[in-house]
């Protein structure tokens, strides 16, 4: 093994620098580290970036999805359609509010639900659909809205992976009734942990703000600002889903990096696509006709005549110090959902993608030398050296 080959290449590395460190130091020096002015500023900046009416910061995308379902009035007796091909949090949020998870299949080209796969999963009591921008590839939302809006079905966008992607020329999530975002380090922007709920409706934003903070009548920041703290009241049962000002300070810096991150990720994705295009049996994730992906996860599908299966290629990459990942999971196969009644839609494309795809390393600071090492392993293992 050469010295270069001995260095490990991770699937993802967050891009954090001096600016984030300085922003955290400033926040600490300010004496206010819990949810406060920096969270409010991050919400304003984020809403402007994704062209959303209102943004409510949360502790994670999972808690943002939970709030989205609550403000939309979803609960016991309701069915919510979600793709099985997603991180399990998409389905879990539905379970938290006591509704039934109904799994829909995805389109094999994009890995996303379509109006047709959602239609196949509708029941007489479907009240909401969660559409995911899987791996950053924008979901084709307009036909799904055209199906759901006349039926009074709320469409929630799980945009955990969607920051920096575009749909019909606008940022993913622009104009969404409800969209949920993640700042986990595996995603494109990070605050360590953290999330955001965006919505076009002011009443939903207001209720989400209260629910994330124990449904308290006055926020902690408001109570702190007053010398004589107002008497608080709790009109319903809320949660502690708050983000801290330390996280928001990091997020404000990360937002400024977004355009540069997207340009770099798309260039690296194009390089992967060009280098692997001629390898028989491989298919590389690509932009759909209706938008551009930030490629939060760049997956490839591995099928015959490629000589290895997905597991074999993962092992070959690991042998060369490359930490790739299995493709997106299928929630319907997990013990948490396998024994439940989750509807009867066929999930053929979901099973094919979850069995055959893997996610290649792709991160902002990745060098072309590092990428060439990954490409060489995939090509050589495929007999295309
Ligand atoms: C990562 C992810 C989530 C969960 O995000 P957290 O911020 O970790 O809660 C939800 N949905 C999808 C599609 C994801 O990729």
Q: Determine if ligand 1 sits within 6 Å of the CB of residue 138.
A: no
Q: Is the pLDDT of residue 334 over 80?
A: yes
Residue nearest to atom 2 of ligand 1 (CA): 160
Fold of 258-381: 3.90.1150
Closest by CA position to 246, among listed 103, 57, 54, 65: 57
**Ligand 1 pocket residue status of 84, Cβ below 6 Å:** no
Average pLDDT value for residue range 256-274: 98
Give catalytic residue positions. Answer: 187
Looking at the predicted structure, is the pLDDT value of residue 3 above 60?
Answer: no
Q: Is 219 in the pocket of ligand 1 (CB under 6 A)?
A: no
Report CA-CA distances (Å) from 5 to 322, 370, 372.
9, 9, 11
Topology (CATH level 3) of domain 18-255 = 3.40.640
Q: Domain ranges in the chain?
A: 18-255, 258-381
Tens of pLDDT, residue by residue over 160-188, are 999 999 999 999 999 899 999 999 999 99
Pick the atom of ligand 1 nearest to 62's CA. 9
Question: 68, 139, 187, 327: which to mutate for ligand 1, most atoms within 8 A of CB?
Answer: 187
Closest residue by Cα to residue 68 from 142, 120, 131: 131
The yes-or-no verdict on residue 330 having pLDDT over 70 is yes
Percent residues over pLDDT 70 in the chain = 98
Does 195 contact ligand 1 (Cβ within 6 A)? yes
122 in Cβ contact with 143 (< 8 Å): no
pTM for the predicted model, two decimal places = 0.96
Read off the pLDDT band of 1 (50, 70, 90). very low
Residues 133-160, mean pLDDT to the nearest whole number = 98
Q: pLDDT (tens digit, 9 = 90+) per residue, 373-382?
A: 999 999 999 9
With H, G, I as helix, E, B as strand and everything else as coil, classify residue 55. strand
Closest Cα to residue 265, out of 380, 141, 158, 161? Answer: 161
pLDDT at 368 over 50: yes
Question: What integer pLDDT is reported at residue 224 of this predicted model?
Answer: 76
Asked if the model's pLDDT at residue 385 lies above 90, the reply is no
Q: Calculate what percentage of the chain has a pLDDT beyond 90.
A: 92
């Amino acid at each position: 093994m050469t010295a270069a080959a001995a260095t490990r290449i991770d699937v993802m590395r967050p891009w954090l620098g001096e600016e984030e460190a300085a922003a955290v130091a400033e926040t600490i020096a300010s004496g206010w580290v819990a949810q406060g002015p920096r969270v409010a500023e991050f919400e304003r900046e984020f809403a402007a970036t994704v062209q959303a009416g209102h943004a409510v910061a949360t502790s994670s995308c999972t808690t943002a999805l939970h709030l989205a379902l609550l403000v939309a009035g979803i609960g016991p007796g309701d069915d919510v359609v979600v793709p099985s091909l997603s991180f399990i949090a998409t389905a879990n949020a539905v379970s938290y509010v006591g509704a039934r998870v109904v799994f829909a299949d995805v389109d094999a080209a994009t890995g996303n639900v379509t109006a047709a796969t959602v239609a196949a999963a509708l029941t007489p009591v479907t009240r909401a659909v969660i559409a995911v921008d899987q791996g950053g590839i924008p979901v084709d939302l307009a036909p799904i809205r055209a199906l759901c809006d006349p039926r009074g079905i709320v469409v929630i966008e799980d945009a955990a992976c969607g920051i920096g992607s575009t749909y019909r020329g606008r940022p993913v999530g622009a104009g969404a009734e409800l969209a949920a975002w993640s700042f986990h380090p595996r995603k494109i922007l990070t605050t360590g942990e953290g999330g955001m709920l965006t919505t076009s409706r002011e009443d939903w934003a207001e209720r989400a703000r209260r629910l994330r903070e124990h449904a308290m009548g006055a926020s902690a920041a408001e109570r702190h600002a007053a010398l004589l703290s107002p008497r608080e009241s709790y009109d319903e049962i809320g949660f502690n889903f708050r983000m801290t000002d330390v996280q928001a300070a990091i997020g404000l810096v990360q937002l400024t990096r977004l355009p540069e991150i997207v340009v770099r990720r798309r260039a690296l994705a194009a390089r992967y696509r060009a280098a692997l295009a001629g390898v028989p049996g491989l298919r590389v994730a690509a932009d759909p006709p209706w938008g551009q992906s930030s490629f939060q996860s760049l997956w490839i599908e591995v099928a015959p005549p490629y000589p290895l299966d997905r597991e074999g290629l993962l092992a070959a990459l690991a042998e060369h110090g490359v930490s790739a990942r299995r493709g997106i999971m299928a929630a319907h196969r997990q013990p948490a959902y396998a024994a439940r009644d989750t509807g009867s839609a066929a999930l053929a494309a979901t099973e094919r993608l979850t069995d055959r795809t893997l996610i290649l390393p792709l991160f902002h600071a990745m060098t072309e030398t590092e990428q060439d090492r990954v490409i060489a392993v995939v090509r050589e293992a495929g007999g295309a050296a």
